[in-house]
Amino acid sequence: MAWRSSGATNRDLIENLWNNKLIKDARVKEAFLKVDRAHYAPSHPYDDRPQSIGHSATISAPHMHAYAVESLLPYILPTETNPAPRVLDIGSGSGYLTHVLAELVGEHGTVVGVEHIPQLAELGERNMGKSAEGKGFLSCGRVKFRVGDGRKGWVEKEAREGEEETVERRGSGWDAIHVGASAVKVHDELVAQLRAPGRMFIPVDDEEGGYEQHIWTVDKDAEGRVEKKKLFGVRYVPLTDAPK
């Protein structure tokens, strides 16, 4: 139903995603409603389709962002035992999904967007600065953009105010990792950086070769055991070295 989810306004788009059951949780719907995709998409922001944002990168279709957030939601929301969730957004690109994730992690949560292309990290931060709420997330440290090789994840050692106890108890890893480009494999560094429990949502090239990719979830339970599940076919840009 994704092709029927486009709308004339941001609310139209999100309501259509909801009515087509691509967004299923009311908390996810509310988060998407708070983030105007027009601040992030170069043109036709309320079409449910991917778009180029330059530097061989894209902003994914809204329904793919919805799938990702719904999948990661249990690990994104603050709880009594984890009041300061940490989320890593690899291949943050336009910054759109980074902003949506930030709406869900709560007052003490942190979302870090990682890009291997400095201009895209700057783009994400600039786009977030288009709204008062986005500016607030940047200024308080709820959202940070970093430049690095996403295949190696990211270590954000500095704890922001309100998450010190959680970082001391659970480490400086990530409760949830979203990967917005297709990896040739599930990189060991990313799995190692998942907290226990934690979940990663990642597109991976099929082992058989060719041009097929599938979304995988990688779950780490409280004892550190890892389970990988292959979900559905997709088409993402590759998670590779930055263009020369």
As for how many domains the chain has, the answer is: 1
Concerning whether 60 is annotated as a catalytic residue, the answer is yes
Q: Which domain holds residue 191?
A: 59-234
pTM, 2 dp? 0.94
Which residues, 6 or more positions from 59, have their beta carbon under 8 angstroms from its beta carbon? 40, 41, 50, 51, 53, 93, 94, 96
What is the reported pLDDT for 236? 84
CB 63 within 8 A of CB 22: yes
Q: pLDDT of 147-169, one tens digit each?
A: 999 999 999 988 888 888 888 88
Would you say residue 175 lies in a domain? yes
Of how many residues is the chain composed? 244
> Residue 81 domain-assigned?
yes
Give the Å distances, CA to CA, from 148 to 50, 114, 120, 152, 196. 24, 6, 11, 8, 24
pLDDT of 183 strictly over 60: yes
pLDDT of res. 74? 97
- Across residues 237-243, what is the average pLDDT? 71
Q: Does residue 2 sit within a domain? A: no
Residue 26, in any domain of the structure: no
CATH of the domain at 149: 3.40.50.150
Q: Name the strand (E) or helix (H) holding 172.
A: none
CA distance 137 to 107: 10
Strand partners, 52: 58
Question: Residue 70 in 3-state DSSP?
Answer: helix
* pLDDT higher at 195 or 184: 195
Within a domain: 199: yes
For 8-34, the pLDDT digits (tens) are 999 999 999 999 999 999 999 999 999
Q: Which of 5, 6, 56, 60 is catalytic?
A: 60
Task: Determine, yes or no, domain membership for 33.
Answer: no
pLDDT mean across residues, the chain: 93
Question: Which residue, among 110, 130, 104, 118, has the nearest Cα to 41 in the 3D structure?
Answer: 130
Contact (CB, 8 A) for 13 and 48: yes
Q: Is residue 22 part of a domain?
A: no
- The neighbour count for residue 195, using CB atoms within 10 Å, is 22
Whole-angstrom Cα distance, residue 238 to residue 180? 9
What whole-number distance in Å separates Cα of residue 151 and Cα of residue 90? 8
In a domain, 46, yes or no: no
- Confidence bin at 243 (pLDDT 50/70/90): low
